[in-house]
A and B are shown apart, each in its own frame.
Chain A
Amino acid sequence: MSHATAAREFIADSQRTKWHDETIWFVRHKRDLAAASVPEWELLRSTASAIKRHTLSRLDEYLEQFEQNAIRHGIKVHWARDAAEHNEIVLKLLKEKGVTNIVKSKSMLTEECGLNPYLEAAGIEVVDTDLGERIVQMRKEHPSHIVLPAIHIKKEEVGELFHEQLGTEAGAADPNYLTEAARNHLRDKLLNAGAGLTGVNFAIAETGGIVVCTNEGNADLGTALPPIHIASMGIEKLIPRLEHLGVFLRLLARSATGQPITAYSSHFHRPREGQEMHIILVDNGRSGILADEDFNRSLNCIRCGACLNTCPVYRRSGGHSYHATVPGPIGSVINPVRDPAKFESLPFACSLCGSCSEVCPVKIPLHHQLYALRGVIAERGLLPLSKRAPLWFATAVFRRPWLYRAGGRMARMVLRCLPRALVYNRLNPWGRQRELPVVPEQSFRRAYADRQAKRSK
């Protein structure tokens, strides 16, 4: 289904659309306040951008350095070419230890790899411990936002879900009450888990350690309790030095939710005593994008979600309308870059307003990439005829001034004379909710010529 079709369905519920837009705009507003409180905000952005671009220019060296240091600290490092290999590694580790139930903290990478269904098919109980992720998991859905996974769900719906599955009171929808119920449910899962899986926000080449940021403390509980910690990371999560965190941790939470920093920014550098720690480095198409100058900066993304929050299209169409693990502007870049045929409509789910590029803490030129991707889609012949045909016609007209003048005159005449029912028909999407301009008798060029003629008299 194209984005436009899915978006139309979403918007059909106008109350919910308004609520969705306003809820997410509120997050964008908090981001503005947080950014404004740091006088050197723009310097931070350009510094972060440069650090990431530098890292990509010698990623192989940093990966090797990272691996060496991690191994030195007793961490086991694995490499996965693709999603399948990543999932196999996780399952093998769990099987070796006879683990049948695991807890997970948020990781968009494991979403990308489809890890949950894979492990569940192998008989492993997987519990997402981030509250939002747990809610969508219980609803058998996917996150609709990379930072706020359940942002599309109303509290009444959560109340109903928890009533059915956790036995909360019927009709109860108070977020405090519901969160308390989830806390008890999740603490029980955390205490009894056989292994803890986490994502990775930053991996530091210089130290061989990783940093994971959460507000709930679920990544910490999920790794401080079970005997195994498995961390999955895309190879692009690397930064060269520990001190670089002093840049990124200032940007991440402020951009994401408007907080000065997340409640917990945990630095894992060694297994706990008696614990095993594994890090899986996943490529899954990333190394192929590295060389592509038009799109490789999309690998700089730190998954803050700010571009989603500011995107006027995302706010009014919901994350699920993108049919991709990562929605919104960044998703509309990284998904079609990997699979243009499958995601051909995403670069067009954008009015090219450019707000995403302005909020991005690592200065990915998102709207320029979306613009460039449209060229890729067209070049590969993936443009639907409905988009292509009018432009063939327009080009034919615009290259011939006489045809443009005659055509314009004719079009204006036709628009003035045709009965309304013929102008506002089913094939005119402009006219479904909008009037066409009031058609003037004269074009500008005629009016101007008349004016000049009068003057010279």
Chain B
Amino acid sequence: MSSSRKHILQQVKANRAAEFELPSLDQDWQTFGDPLERFCEVLTSTGGNSLRVNDLASANEWFEQRISGNADSQTISLVEGVGRSTLELDQLETPQELSGLDWAILPAEFGVAENGALWVTDINAKHRAVYYLCEHLVLVLPASQVVHNMPQAYERLAGFATDDTPPFGCFIAGPSKTADIEQSLVIGAQGPRSLDVLLIV
């Protein structure tokens, strides 16, 4: 193993491409008059759904209505006050036990206006599969936490994974989807079939 490492690094060093300067990222990147509005628009175009609510109690009301009539839905909520967990994520030994989970209500850290993406991490989720294995995903986000663009998003993430930060983070933009059969868009490929974003105004 180490001999291949040495060989490759030697080759790469010997064959270095011509010097080229790293460009500056300090540019006038795209911004929006109303980033929250833009975020919601793009989220809709990715197949997601957004809803502005005044507080967690209203978020909870919305959820209760959403699942009304499905009393035996399996739910995990990591957002206190919204929904009730029928399973405790922390107590599951393996992520496979999440199979059959209908709803996951999880926190998002911030949103990005230019592309409707939300940043999530597994810092409080013992099994990160919860984001992907649930049939329906609900993300809860304070409406104030929407940045304009991706360069701003990474400014916020400075320091991510350099020390004791979460091992995993993901930009989620809309539900799972595919267009692999004749370019027909189908929502709900392997992951969640829907994404609702509750914006706490």
Contact = CB atoms under 8 A, between A and B. Distances in A.
A78 B1 contact: yes
Nearest to A204: B161
Interface stretch (A53-61, A378-386, A410-418, A431-439): A53-61
A179 B193 CA distance: 12
Contact of A264 (B95, B114, B165, B172): B172
B30 interface: yes
Contacts of A262: 173
Contacts of B171: 249, 261, 264-265
Nearest to A184: B190
B181 A47 contact: no
A220 B64 CA distance: 29
Contacts of B14: 291
Contacts of A217: 132, 176, 189-192
A310 B193 CA distance: 31
A165 interface: no
Contacts, number: 274
Interface stretch (A124-132, A334-342, A444-452): A124-132
B181 A175 contact: yes
Interface in A77-135: 78-81, 85, 129-132, 135
Contacts of A130: 180
Given A215-B176, A261-B115, A265-B117, A270 B168 contact: yes
Interface stretch (A147-155, A318-326, A396-404): A147-155
A245 B150 contact: yes
A224 B95 contact: yes
Contacts of A272: 122, 128, 167-168
A287 B15 contact: yes
Contacts of B19: 57
A60 B9 contact: yes
A78 B1 CA distance: 7
Contacts of B11: 283, 287-288, 290
B183 interface: yes
Given A221-B132, A257-B179, A272-B168, A267 B161 contact: yes
A51 B30 CA distance: 20
Nearest to A254: B115
Nearest to B182: A155
A50 B24 CA distance: 10
A12 B150 CA distance: 46
Interface residues of B, number: 82
A290 B15 CA distance: 6
Interface string B4-22: 1101110111111111111
Of B4, B45, B160, B169, chain A has the most CB atoms within 10 Å of the CB of B4
Contact of A73 (B12, B115, B161, B177): B161
Contact of A296 (B17, B23, B157): B17
A246 interface: yes
Contacts of A361: none
B186 interface: yes
A372 interface: no
Interface string A281-320: 1010001101101001000000000000000000000000
26 contacts: A50-B23, A59-B12, A59-B17, A63-B12, A73-B167, A79-B1, A155-B184, A179-B186, A190-B190, A216-B177, A220-B128, A220-B132, A224-B95, A246-B152, A247-B150, A250-B150, A260-B46, A260-B117, A263-B172, A265-B171, A269-B160, A269-B168, A283-B12, A290-B16, A290-B17, A293-B18
Interface of A: 23, 26-27, 38-40, 43, 46-47, 50-51, 53-54, 56-60, 63-64, 73, 78-81, 85, 129-132, 135, 148-151, 153-155, 158, 175-176, 178-180, 182-183, 186-187, 190-191, 206-209, 215-218, 220-221, 224-225, 235, 240, 242-247, 249-250, 257, 259-273, 281, 283, 287-288, 290-291, 293, 296
Interface of B: 1-2, 4-5, 7-9, 11-23, 25, 27-30, 42, 45-46, 95-96, 99, 112, 114-117, 122, 126-129, 131-133, 149-155, 157-158, 160-162, 165-184, 186, 188-192
